[in-house]
Each structure stands twice: as C-alpha cells, then as structure tokens.
Structure 1
Amino acid sequence: MKIFLFIILLFSFSFSYDYDLKNVGVEIEANDKIIKIKRIEDQDCLLINGANPENLFSGDYAKEGLPKACVKKFLTTMGKITPMKINDKIETIGELEVIKFIEKSQTNKNMLLIDSRLPDWYLQFTIPTAENIPFTYFNKNKYPDDFYDALEMIGVKEISKDKYDFSKAKELVLFCNGAWCPQSSFAIENLIKLGFPQEKIKWYRGGIYSWKLLNLTTVAE
C-alpha cells in the first residue's frame, strides 16, 4: 500500500510550475531555432521499478577506467521536478547548510533533521543524525496513530480537535530522494496546513541524490 502511494505521488504531485517535461516539454527560441526542453526518457526507462530503492542509487558513470570510488551513476528519469522554493517563508538550503544544522543539533535537541522517505529507503542509507518520519505520517485522516507519533517527534501537542500547541515546536529540516521527489514537499505542505510555524521549516531540496552526488557520508540504520 505504501509503495503504491509512493508511486502515485511521484507522478501526480504538482507545484506552481506545472510543466509536463516528460511528454509535452517547454518550447524556447535560441539562435533562430525552436528548441524543446524535455526530460529525455528512453522507452526502456519505463520498465524500471522506481519503487525499489536498490534500482535508484548504484553503479558508476564517467570515463572508462577511472576508479569506481570517484564516480557516481543515478537513475535520471524518476518523478517530477520540483521548483527551487516551496514558498517565500520556507528557506531552501544546500549541503553546507545541512551540515551546519547537524553540527548545531548536537547540542540543541530542538533541532530535527527529518528523512521523510518510506522506511525501506531510510534503512538502506540516510544522512547522519536524520530521524525517519515518513511523509505518510503527516496525513492525519489516513494514518492517525503515525500522525500523533510525528507530532510528538516535532514538539507539537494537540490541544483539541484540529487545534495545536506550537510553543515547543522544533526547528526542522526535511529532505527525501532529490529534486524530483515529492515526499518532503508533501510533508511540508501538510505541516503548513496544520499551522506549524513556517519560519521553523527548512527544505533540503537536493536530498539524498545531491548528498550522494557530492560523495558525502551516509549511514545505514
């Protein structure tokens, strides 16, 4: 059920920039020519099971003969590209900001790095210190028990039905698989609907894809 939900989100979640880059593309003019910007997708790519974590991050890609430890290859046809910003209140950050956040969180328990992917992905590997709060946990109607577990982890208490106390809300950084992954964005959108203070939310849009691309340390939980 959760894998099915993951696949649906990959292909249905939309933002302000609702470009269909896999099918329609965006036409622009350059050097007196009409060029269509698209995500190039060979038909063989459609056969890949994107819900399998092992299919996503493996292998190497560079000049033949280079040390394998120095190069990376990732699946490039997954999901739908997200914009750089969710809104003007939530800051989008990069790797150095994430590392600084991790350092500060060592002595500040009110800071929480959240891996919003499903557990199978989190258990494969994640960013050091990240806690797994799957994006599904932020859906109160479908997963009420998980929802209240998530509230406790982020420092929020329910006062009455649909009313919450954010006085002890933690500072959050959320991430998922990459710029084409909607899971962290889904979690953030639900936090906004909840009334969570947006100034306490940061978004690592690059996620695991960018983290691994730069060969930064990961841990297996």
Structure 2
Amino acid sequence: MKTIHSRIFVALAFVSGLAYANDYDLRGDGVQINYDDNSYIIKRITDEECKKINGADPKNIWSGNYAKEGLSEKCVKKFVTTVGKITPMKINDKIETIGELEVIDFIEKAQTNKNMLLIDARLPDWFLQMSIPTAENIPFTYFDKSKYPDDFYDVLEMIGVKEISKDKYDFSKAKELVLFCNGAWCPQSTFAINNLIKLGYPQEKIKWYRGGMYSWKMLNLTTTSE
C-alpha cells in the first residue's frame, strides 16, 4: 500500500466542520411515520454513554466482537453503531454505487490495467490500521485545492489529470476510480467525489463503494495494513 503524503494531518476540526446536505444523522428526533395504526419514530438509537465514544479514533471503531457471548472470536465482529451520518445510496444518477463483488472484480482487472485506481479516502491513521488490498491512500482533504494545494496537485498526477491553465484540466487520460471510506455513515469518500465533480472529472469514470470498510469487514474479506 502506498500513500502520497510525507506528513500526517489529523485535521479533526476540519472533519467535524464539514456539512453534507444529503446525509442524515437520525440520532436526534428521527423520522416519524404511521404504520398499522401505530406511530413509529425511525432513528438511530443512541444511549448517552455512546455519545462519549471518540469516533475519530480508529482503535475505537475497529476492535472487538459482536455476537452471542462465548462464540469464537474468529467468527464474529463488533462495530460501533452510533458514529457519523448516514449517506444516501446514490451520490447522483451518473456515479455508480457498487458492492463487494464489484470491488473485487475491479481489483482483479486493475492488476493488468494501470488506468484503474482504488482509492481509500480516509485519513492516514485509519489507512495504516487496515485497508483493502491494492488501495492507494488519498485522504479526502487532499481533494480540496483551496486548503491543500500541494497535495491536490499530487492527486491530479495519481488520477491521470493535467492542469492546462488555472482551473482548466485535461481529462483525456483520467483513470477509472473506485473510492471508499469507513462505511455508510462516513462522508469522506463522498466529499472527495463531490470535489472531483466540481473539478469536471468524467463522472462515468467514478464509482463509489458506499459500504466501505464496515461492509468489507462484515463479510470478513481480506485486509492489509502497514
């Protein structure tokens, strides 16, 4: 696994300040519905104790087991269920949302096609703990030219884009991309994708693995770490 950074930024203030109009917290009032003569509120159930979890610490997210007590730890996993905001299933009608089998197929094809790139859009601490084999770590913050201009140009080189002039780009050699982050509650990959859209990147060359590391680990697929 590779990473384009030579220094680690843990930009927690920046991360916590991001706003996503299409993401849903559902940890507060939730959505009220009427069904079978009863009223229900669909929301993420969050005990006060859960609010104390530091979701910015990867060790809090990726550890432990979750199943009947006493079962072999080799067979079960445990996930924190109360962090982040729920993302929609689709970013838009042009960008395809894919699952694990499609990611594996992409990885297999990318072995002989250098114009295909799997991107782990999480911050370095998360990537170093575990990731999907062959993924390149391009932290979502680096897709923001206004905040990280030097790293932004490194990103352009990795994804096959050249800047012709200020804010004008050549996408003739743009690579086919799959981006992911922690899971359905993680907005980092969508942030990166939305910045690619603003850039003018061909959307037919972008795929989104919404399930991310949570779905990957839920199915006990191979991971790699440094």
Question: Alignment partner of 1:146: what SS?
Answer: helix
By how many angstroms is 1:21 displaced?
1.0
- Contact 2:24–2:87, Cα closer than 8 Å, also in 1: no
State the TM-score, normalizing by the size of structure 2. Answer: 0.94
Superposed, 1:35-184 pairs within 5 Å as 35-184=40-189
By how many angstroms is 1:57 displaced?
1.1
> Given the alignment, which residue of 18, 21, 24 partners 1:14?
21
State the TM-score, normalizing by the size of structure 1. Answer: 0.96
> 1:178-217: CA deviations, max 9, x gaps?
0000000000000000000000000000000100010000
> 1:141-168: CA deviations, max 9, x gaps?
1100000000000000000000000000
By how many angstroms is 1:108 displaced?
0.1
Superposed structure 1 runs of 4+ greater than 3 Å apart: none
1:4 pairs with 2:13: yes
Distance 1:50 1:171, change over 3 A: same
Question: Alignment partner of 2:17: what SS?
Answer: helix
- Contact 2:25–2:86, Cα closer than 8 Å, also in 1: no
Alpha-carbon distance in 2 for matches of 1:79, 1:19: 9
> 1:78-105: CA deviations, max 9, x gaps?
1110000000000000000000000000
Alpha-carbon distance in 2 for matches of 1:183, 1:219: 20
Aligned residues: 217
Alpha-carbon distance in 1 for matches of 2:221, 2:109: 18
By how many angstroms is 1:14 displaced?
2.5
- Contact 2:120–2:179, Cα closer than 8 Å, also in 1: yes
By how many angstroms is 1:3 displaced?
2.2
- Contact 1:6–1:51, Cα closer than 8 Å, also in 2: no
Alpha-carbon distance in 1 for matches of 2:130, 2:155: 21
1:189 pairs with 2:180: no
By how many angstroms is 1:65 displaced?
1.5
RMSD: 1.0
> Given the alignment, which residue of 195, 205, 213 partners 1:208?
213
